[in-house]
Amino acid sequence: MTTIAFQGEAGAYSQEAIFQTFGAETPTLPCHAFDEIFRAVEIGRADLGLLPIENSTAGAINQAYDLLLDSDLKISGEVIFRVRHCLLANAGVAVNDLQRVHSHPQALAQCERYLAAHGWQPVTAYDTAGAAKQLAQTREANAAAIASETAARLYGLNILARGIEDLHNNYTRFFLIGHAEAPRMEKSKTSIVFATRHTPGALYDCLGHFAARGINLAKLESRPDRKRPWHYVFYLDFEGHREDSACRDALFDLLGKASFLKVLGSYPAANVPNEK
């Protein structure tokens, strides 16, 4: 079976996204950091990596973009996962017993109103699943953790509440990364990174090649060029496959305008889950 690497402890939302997308029996490999996902795939410890690229409420994950630029691995798919934060506690602990809640800073921020309404103290942890694991080990009787249902199951914790995030349209978009190109599908996306020449209208000229061919741009993100201060690279997602005639022609013309161009991958486009 295909082994998929992810960042975080067992029970992390990334692992839950893998199980939800590929099945609960999918072999997974926990990694401490994003760059370890890339290394695990590069040396064959994992077949694919699941890399979070952006969150619908928190925005882009900049380190992920930088790693994609430096790596030879290709984007072979995308996963869009609805994040449902759960309040977990040890057996016998009730909501009225709680004084503190442990979790990753982003999860705490996404549940800020819920925590404030109960008067609980937020306590930061390495990640959500790590907070759940630590809570199960310490057996704290007046503390809880914000983590996934998978973490609750793995660490023997009770779920006191589900869906405690302040904004329920909370989705994380992931890229699947690997050595192989994805098969061409009718509904595809392509991700590229490019740099413009430092002249007036350079970005306009680059993007115009897509507009002229009726290609829809799904996302545009700028990042500092780490080799040249005050210069930038642009990460662009557009609808279509790089082998489609219109996309191929647009990329060819872009190559003549840009100072740098790298195709990160063409892959099947994911649907946003229709969930409440």
Q: Which residues are known catalytic residues? A: 172, 174
How far does CA 76 lie from the centroid of its chain? Answer: 14
Strand (E) positions, 140-216? 143-147, 158-162, 171-178, 188-196
235 closest CA partner among 266, 183, 194: 194
Strand (E) positions, the chain? 4-7, 28-31, 48-55, 59-60, 74-82, 86-89, 100-103, 121-124, 143-147, 158-162, 171-178, 188-196, 217-224, 232-239, 258-268
How many residues belong to the chain? Answer: 276
Q: Is 112 left (phi over 0), alpha (psi -120 to 50) or beta?
A: alpha
C-alpha 77/C-alpha 50 separation (Å) is 9
60 bridge partner residues? 54
First vs last Cα of the chain: how many Å apart?
32
How large is the angle between the packed helices 202-211 and 245-257, nearest 10 degrees?
Answer: 170
Handedness of CA 138, 142, 144, 149 (dihedral sign): positive
Q: Tokens 């991958």 identify what position?
A: 265
The CA radius of gyration of the chain, in Å to the nearest whole number, is 21
